[in-house]
């Protein structure tokens, strides 16, 4: 990604303008650019700064959707999971799951085996097996063993959601697209149709109108709140999912473990991720400000009850967490009393000059993007003539962590001096990665680097503030910051992390 673009550097007209820099907008941008369409993506905050950096970090078919009767969505998700495992190796990785089966708890063995056999059939290969209690405890010694009958072993996948968004954007830019962050947009219409967007860059105090043949509203949970957009958006039911992140030494897991919460029977899980362990999630109506969700005291209590039920011998407290995070799911309201019964299907609508898309899942972003672009082809026939449905990213990269996260840039990162290759604190991140991101990934604020380009803010103690002295000189050189600006950014980051991500008090 080149140096951050100013509004004055943008063209006067684009074929397609995508509003929203989360996974849905990034997927649309990537697929449109590879088809040769002149496409601009604009994001009001940082790329992936909303729901797409606050997911459960799973690429999965969704056993719960199968239970709810969403067969088509489950099949679609399983197929996309398998494709992402092939095409984004190193970024989307296989994740073995254990589901302990206890004598005194649901679910039962045979029900789970039937469900997982269907799950395997959808994937085209058997990946689920029954383990005895002894075998299960041998794999995960921290399991509650007293009432354990055994465990189902099956496979899904995990990812770094924010980095997946960045890889999609970088791939789209390589194919000629343009993407800008910290620029808000609203549609501009005449009496007949949407003709373009009005852009505002508050960081630089600039405003400009850009024309487009078609505008796409891909703003997720904000889709029905986009200023000056024509009517037609569905009624959304924003649902908050909150998580705790523990150090792996506090919650030592080699597999993901999933079980049903003893209070309401909802599936919860804990899984290894970026050197730590993510534990969640809740699924509650979110009635507060969309841009700054945070875990509540009631959610903390709920999660800790669930954790104690599965791992009583660990005696974990909420204050043992490294961090917390919460995201708001853009779920289309379906009238169910139970939020978890609401469908995770996407919803699309249209007005002259504009297509809107919301809902959907991280796993199926490519399916959603192709559905949107198929509809957009009525206005932009060239969408049907480009390189559609090819591999997600360039081929030939090493299927390891750096290759998956950075693509071709991994070669540059590996070539940096050896002193920059040591991992930082108890995280998998190298200083070389952070320096490369500072130079090439449109960073505006320090939290862009520590919460989204990398996830140090979630997986390092104290949000990684102890690492800030290492970053002062690289950041000031790469971004042209003065010492005063650096101090302001450090203060901003500390305050933001304390507000949204600091671990709860015990």
Ordered structural domains, the chain, with CATH: 7-51+162-235+343-384 (3.50.50.60), 60-158+237-333 (3.30.9.10), 416-500 (no CATH)
Greatest distance between any 2 Cα atoms in the chain: 71
User: How far, CA to CA in Å, does 362 sit from each of 8, 57, 300, 332, 341?
Assistant: 33, 9, 24, 15, 18
Backbone Cα Rg of the chain: 22
Query: What DSSP string describes 231-272?
Result: S-PPPEEEEEEEEEEEETTTS--SSEEEEE-TTT--EEEEEE
Q: Classify residue 506 as exposed, middle or buried by CB count within 10 Å of its CB (0-12, 13-18, 19+).
A: exposed
Distances (CA, A) of 343 to 28, 54, 71, 239: 22, 19, 12, 12
Q: What is the spatial distance between Cα 75 and Cα 70, in angstroms, rounded to a whole number?
A: 9
SS3 sequence of 306-325: HHHHHCHHHCCCHHHCCEEE
Report the alpha-carbon distance of residue 134 to residue 145 in Å, rounded: 9
Give the helix ranges, DSSP H, for 49-160.
Answer: 63-67, 71-87, 109-123, 133-139
DSSP state of 468: H
Q: Is 490 exposed, middle or buried (0-12, 13-18, 19+ CB in 10 A)?
A: middle
Count the Cβ atoms, other than its own, within 10 Å of residue 37.
25
| CA atoms of 211 and 147, how far apart (whole Å) | 65
pTM above 0.85, yes or no: yes
Nearest to 220 by CA among 325, 327, 353, 329: 329
At 2 the pLDDT is 47
The DSSP code for 487 is H
Output 442-445 pairs: Cβ under 8 A, ≥24 positions apart. 442/1, 442/3, 442/4, 442/47, 442/179, 442/180, 442/181, 443/478, 443/479, 444/4, 444/46, 444/181, 444/182, 444/203, 445/46, 445/489, 445/492, 445/493
CB 139 within 8 A of CB 80: no
Tens digit of pLDDT per residue, the chain (506 long)? Answer: 546 889 999 999 999 999 999 999 999 999 999 999 999 999 999 999 999 999 999 998 777 776 666 778 888 899 999 999 999 999 999 999 999 999 877 777 878 888 888 888 888 888 889 999 999 999 999 998 888 999 999 999 999 999 999 999 999 999 999 999 999 999 999 989 999 999 999 888 899 999 999 999 999 999 999 999 999 999 999 999 999 999 999 999 999 999 999 999 999 999 999 999 999 999 999 988 888 899 999 999 999 999 999 999 999 999 999 999 999 999 988 888 888 888 888 999 999 999 999 998 999 999 999 999 999 999 999 998 766 678 888 776 778 999 999 999 999 999 999 999 999 989 999 999 999 999 999 999 999 999 999 999 999 999 999 999 999 999 999 999 999 999 999 999 999 999 999 998 75
What is the spatial distance between Cα 398 and Cα 225, in angstroms, rounded to a whole number? 42
Measured CA angle at 62 (ends 61, 65), to 5 deg: 125
Cα angle 448-449-454, degrees, rounded to a multiple of 5: 115
Express the helix, strand and coil content of the chain in percent, nearest 5 each: 40, 25, 35
Of 257, 303, 256, nearest to 284 by C-alpha is 303
Query: By C-alpha distance, which of 81, 95, 32 is closest to 370?
Result: 32
Q: What pLDDT does residue 405 have?
A: 96
Taking each helix axis as running N to C, give the angle between helix 431-440 and helix 468-479, from 0 to 180 degrees, rounded to the nearest 10: 30
Give pLDDT, residue 386. 67
């Amino acid at each position: 990604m080149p140096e951050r673009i100013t509004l004055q550097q943008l063209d006067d007209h684009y074929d397609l303008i995508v509003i929203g820099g989360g996974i849905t907008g990034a997927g649309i941008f990537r697929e449109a650019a590879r088809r040769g369409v002149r496409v601009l993506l604009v994001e009001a905050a940082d790329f992936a700064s909303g729901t797409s950096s606050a997911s459960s970090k799973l690429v999965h078919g969704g056993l719960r959707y199968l239970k709810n009767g969403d067969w088509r969505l489950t099949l679609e998700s399983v197929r996309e999971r398998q494709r992402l495992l092939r095409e984004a190796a190193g970024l989307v990785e296989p994740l073995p799951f254990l589901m302990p089966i206890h004598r005194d708890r649901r679910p039962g063995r045979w029900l789970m085996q039937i469900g997982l056999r269907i799950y395997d059939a959808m994937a085209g290969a058997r990946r689920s097996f029954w383990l005895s209690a002894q075998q299960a405890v041998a794999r995960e010694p921290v399991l509650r063993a007293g009432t354990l009958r055994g465990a189902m072993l099956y496979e899904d996948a995990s990812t770094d959601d924010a980095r997946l968004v960045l890889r999609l954007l970088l791939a789209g830019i390589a194919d000629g697209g343009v993407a800008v962050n910290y620029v808000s947009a609203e549609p501009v219409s005449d009496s007949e149709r949407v003709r373009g967007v009005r852009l505002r860059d508050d960081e630089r105090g600039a405003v400009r109108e850009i024309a487009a043949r078609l505008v796409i509203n891909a703003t997720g949970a904000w889709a029905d709140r986009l200023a000056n957009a024509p009517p037609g958006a569905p009624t959304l039911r924003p649902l908050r999912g909150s998580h705790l992140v523990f150090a792996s030494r506090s919650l030592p897991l080699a597999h993901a473990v999933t079980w049903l919460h003893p209070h309401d029977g909802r599936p919860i899980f804990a899984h290894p991720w970026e050197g730590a362990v993510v534990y969640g999630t809740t699924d509650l109506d979110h009635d507060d400000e969309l841009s700054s969700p945070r875990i509540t005291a009631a959610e903390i209590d709920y999660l800790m009850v669930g954790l104690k039920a599965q791992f009583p011998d660990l005696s974990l407290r909420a204050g043992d967490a490294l961090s917390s995070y919460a995201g708001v799911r853009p779920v289309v309201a379906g009238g169910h009393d139970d939020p978890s019964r609401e469908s995770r299907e996407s919803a699309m609508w249209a007005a002259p000059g504009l297509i809107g898309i919301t809902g959907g899942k991280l796993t199926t972003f490519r399916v959603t993007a192709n559905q949107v672009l198929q509809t957009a082809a009525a206005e932009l026939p060239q969408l049907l003539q480009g390189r559609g449905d090819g591999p997600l990213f360039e081929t030939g990269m090493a299927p390891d962590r750096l290759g998956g996260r950075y693509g071709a840039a991994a070669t540059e990162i590996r070539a940096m001096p050896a002193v920059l290759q040591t991992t930082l604190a108890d995280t998998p991140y190298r200083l070389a990665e952070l320096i490369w991101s500072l130079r090439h990934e449109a960073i505006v604020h320090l939290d862009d680097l520590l919460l989204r380009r990398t996830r140090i803010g979630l997986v390092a103690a104290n949000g990684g503030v102890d690492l800030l002295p290492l970053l002062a000189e690289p950041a000031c050189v790469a971004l042209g910051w003065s010492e005063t600006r650096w101090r302001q950014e450090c203060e901003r980051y500390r305050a933001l992390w304390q507000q949204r991500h600091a671990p709860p008090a015990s």
